[in-house]
Structure 1
Amino acid sequence: VPFSLPVVSEVFKSSRAMRIPYTCPLVRIGPLVARYVQPEVVALRVPLLNLSNFQINDWPDVSAKSYAIMVLILPTDSTRKWRDHELELVDVVADQVAVALSHAAILEESMRASDQLVEQNGALDLARREAELAIHARNDFLAVLNHEMRTPMHA
């Protein structure tokens, strides 16, 4: 969805949930068959908190925030409308979604780092075993060479 759409820029400018038309490109619903009431749709921006957004004192750098848009649609088989207190609840839930997404990103990064460490430990273990084999081969060679130098050849 292009950022140039007025609805998209309005959602990004607002820190609250706002009603949007169901015909907006942000909304992907099937055809409204045998319906006389348009579905109620709200959209709001959700901050995407990344590890790089945090400074040493654990406060996010507000200037570097990026956002996603969360779109919520009431069931199409009802005539319910979004109430103001529900929109306030949606605002609170959006903050929790942002935290959950950041936790998921941190977990994903942690798992990726863990996989990388396992791979590096495997390579390190292989290099250690190869070094031990090389040391053993050198010691065997030196033992044979020492023995041959001490014993006269076909005296």
Structure 2
Amino acid sequence: MQELDTLVVTAEVQAAIRRLVDRLGVVCVESTPRWSSIVDQLDFGSTYERPAVPGTTSTVVVLGLPADVLKHARDATDTFGFVMPVARIATSQIPGLGQRARSWRDDATLDLWHEGWSPINIDRLLVTTRDATIELVIGDVRPIPEVPVPND
């Protein structure tokens, strides 16, 4: 998603980030180098640590593509937050290329369920870039509790 370099961080995006930080407390943002410019644009407030400070308790917020969030989910053991793009909507129509309608099966947050995480407090926002509109999902997840299944 080359467009992310020109992401326009709106007041609505900042409000969603503030709500996320209010829920999670001290946060440590993890991202790939590709996302560092976006981390710098987002205001995680005075509780933001990068990298995590030893001896403090902070909650990880993963900033990246759905694959980055799922990679973290596979190894995580505690609640974490995420900021990820889940859809790209072209703003300039290219002749001959139509926009395929997304179905609920295309939603990356459902992959978190499959990995054993329950998405909570989800904000879905449309943000603009120079070439497209991106659907951005900001939220947090907690482990799905293991419920014992009674024997038949």
- Name the TM-score class by shorter chain: under 0.3
Larger radius of gyration: 1
* Structure ranking higher on relative contact order (CA contacts 8 Å, 6+ apart): 2
The normalised TM-score by structure 1 is 0.21
The normalised TM-score by structure 2 is 0.22
Answer 1 or 2: which has greater strand percent.
2
